Structure formats: C-alpha cells, structure tokens
C-alpha cells in the first residue's frame, strides 16, 4: 500500500492543529482507501517532545513515504518548509492539499459521467457495421435512462439481414452491450455520432427516455 505523508502546521494553536490534521487525514483516507495517509502530528505532536527530536522523527517517517501532501499554511511553518525541502532533496512527490482534492474530484466526476467507448471508437464501430451488407445499424439516444441516470446515452442497435437481403430474419433489432457511449450532455453524445447519419423524430409510442434515433 502506498504511503502519503500529511504535512500540517503545528505550533501556534497546537490543539486545533492536531484536530485539523487528523480531520484531513481521515477525509483523505475516506476518499482514497487504497492509500495509507500518515499524520505525523498524531504520532509526534507531543508538547513534551522537543522540536528537533520531533522533526527528526517526522523526517524519518517522511523518508518511508511515496509522496507528501502540504496542507494550507505550510509556507508559514518552519517544520512544513523543512519537510518540503527534504522531499525535494530526496525526490519524494509533492502535492498541495487543495489541488490533490480537486484533481481527485475531477477525476471521479469524469469517471462517473463518461462511460462506454471514446468518440472515435464509437464512430469507427458504427461505420464498420454500416459498411457490412449483412447489417443495418441504428443509433438510439436516451435521455437519463435507468442504467445511466446522470446523463445521456447513445447505443448501437444491430439489425441483421439474411443471405437473401431480408432484414430482421424474424428477430427484432438488439442493442449491442459493447457499442455505446454515456456522456453528461446531449451535445457530447451527438458529437460522437457519425455526421452523415440521418436523425429521425421519435415515435409517440417509444419509451419516454428515447430522445432520438439515427439511421
């Protein structure tokens, strides 16, 4: 398990800083359970321990970590500046708390809102199917369907022909479980659909979440 060192100011209001450092460590751990976040204030933040001994112990702990996270106010703390200098000298990766949390939130949001294929992959598979004389491809766009309630989905529906050119062969079109995209906005979904496909108006009896169809 990776170890990340949480660098937080201590002197000034020691009790409040101890509590805030532990709150930050707990929040980081909740968001990234696969990482072990080390809070040196919780280990060495004892008023009875002299400053140099505490700093030496903290730097020894930092040497065992893959990265350091600098909390707000670090630039005014002698100990935090020393920890940052040690990280630079030893090649330990440096993060700043606000940036680290915002980057994690952005990544999580993108992971949640974007699903399925990339735009290029989706277009390529759609066009490959359209070039086959045995397959007709229909793209249906859904507005916040049950399996993707936070956005829009475009799915490829495959209509097979038999060797005599008869469409359907007694079977209805089926939605490919692999050829789909999920995006946050309708414009993002439409941007992935081949531009030469023709948009059809939805039928009144279509499922309410069906927004439009392309052939």
Cα 40 from Cα 169, distance rounded (Å) = 69
Look up residue 100 and give its two tokens: 């680290």
- Taking 70 as the pLDDT cut, the residues of the chain under it are 45-49, 104-115, 133-134, 160-178
pLDDT of residue 167: 43
pLDDT of residue 164: 45
Cα 17 from Cα 82, distance rounded (Å) = 18
For domain 2-112, give the fold.
Rossmann fold (3.40.50)
Whole-structure pTM value: 0.49
pLDDT of residue 104: 55
pLDDT of residue 126: 87
Cα 67 from Cα 88, distance rounded (Å) = 10
Look up residue 74 and give its two tokens: 């670090």
Q: What is the pLDDT of residues 193-212, one digit of tens each?
A: 999 999 998 888 888 899 99
Delimiting residues of CATH 3.40.50.450 domain(s) in the chain? 2-112
């Amino acid at each position: 398990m990776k170890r990340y060192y949480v660098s937080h100011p201590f002197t000034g209001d020691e009790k409040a800083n101890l509590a805030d450092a532990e709150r930050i460590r707990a929040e980081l751990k909740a968001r990234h359970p696969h990482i072990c976040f080390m809070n040196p204030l919780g280990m060495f933040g004892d008023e009875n321990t002299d400053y140099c001994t505490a700093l030496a112990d903290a730097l020894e702990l930092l040497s065992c970590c893959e990265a350091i996270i600098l909390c707000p106010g670090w630039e005014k703390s002698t100990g935090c500046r020393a920890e940052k200098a040690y990280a630079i000298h030893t090649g330990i990766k440096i993060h700043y708390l606000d940036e680290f949390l915002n980057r994690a939130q952005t990544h999580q949001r993108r992971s949640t809102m974007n699903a399925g294929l990339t735009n290029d992959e989706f277009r390529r598979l759609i066009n490959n199917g359209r070039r086959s004389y045995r397959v007709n491809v229909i793209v249906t766009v859904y507005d916040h369907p049950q399996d993707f309630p936070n956005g829009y989905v475009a799915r490829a529906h495959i209509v097979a022909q038999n060797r005599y050119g008869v469409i359907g062969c007694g079977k209805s079109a089926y939605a490919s479980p692999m050829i789909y995209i999920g995006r946050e906005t309708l414009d993002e979904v439409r941007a992935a659909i081949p531009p030469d496909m023709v948009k059809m108006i939805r039928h009144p009896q279509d499922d309410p979440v069906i927004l439009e169809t392309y052939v």
